[in-house]
Amino acid sequence: MPDQQRFVKMVLDAWHAQVNGTTALLDKLTDAQLKQEVATGRNRGTYLVGHLTAEHDLLFPLLRFGAPLFPELKPVFVDAADGPAVDAYDVAQLRARWTQVHTALNTHVMALAANDWFMRHNNIAETDFAREPHRNRLNVLITRTIHLAHHRGQLMLLSSK
């Protein structure tokens, strides 16, 4: 396996491990647990599920896969902190959107050729990318994997409540 393919495989394996692990955790947590704060004065589980779903939905335009599936999530779960607007979404609805986003995203992720991961993402101009080729699609997935792992750790705190 050429080095480029090997590196992409390592990143995709880490991404899938985090997504699958988070999905398994969400399947285990009850709706009541997800409605709680992860710690006193911190985000509720419902906010974190919405936040991760919205951030991953925004990968569609960022990675040039198309439009987000649920653009209405961004103002509530990305642009704002946890608050009353989150209560407009019930847990079942957030779980379903998590699944829909990841099912569709996985189709695109798995179809992308290894060399295409090293192309620019949508938030960098071609002129800037020429100077900073590390600002590519694969780098975006690496940072989103780290972001997911962080919030997954927070969600794990709910399993003891």
pLDDT of residue 144: 98
With a cut of 90, say whether residue 2 has pLDDT above it: no
Structural contact between residues 136 and 25, judged by C-beta atoms closer than 8 angstroms: no
145 pLDDT band (50/70/90 cuts)?
Answer: very high
| Start-end of H helices in the chain | 3-28, 31-34, 45-57, 59-62, 73-77, 91-111, 126-131, 137-156
pLDDT of residue 137: 98
Q: Please tell me what DSSP assigns to residue 72.
A: T
How deeply is 111 buried, as exposed, middle or buried, from its count of CB atoms within 10 A (0-12, 13-18, 19+)? exposed
90-105 mean pLDDT? 98
Instruction: Give this prediction's pTM.
Output: 0.96
pLDDT of residue 160: 85
In the chain, the domains with their CATH numbers are 3-160 (1.20.120.450)
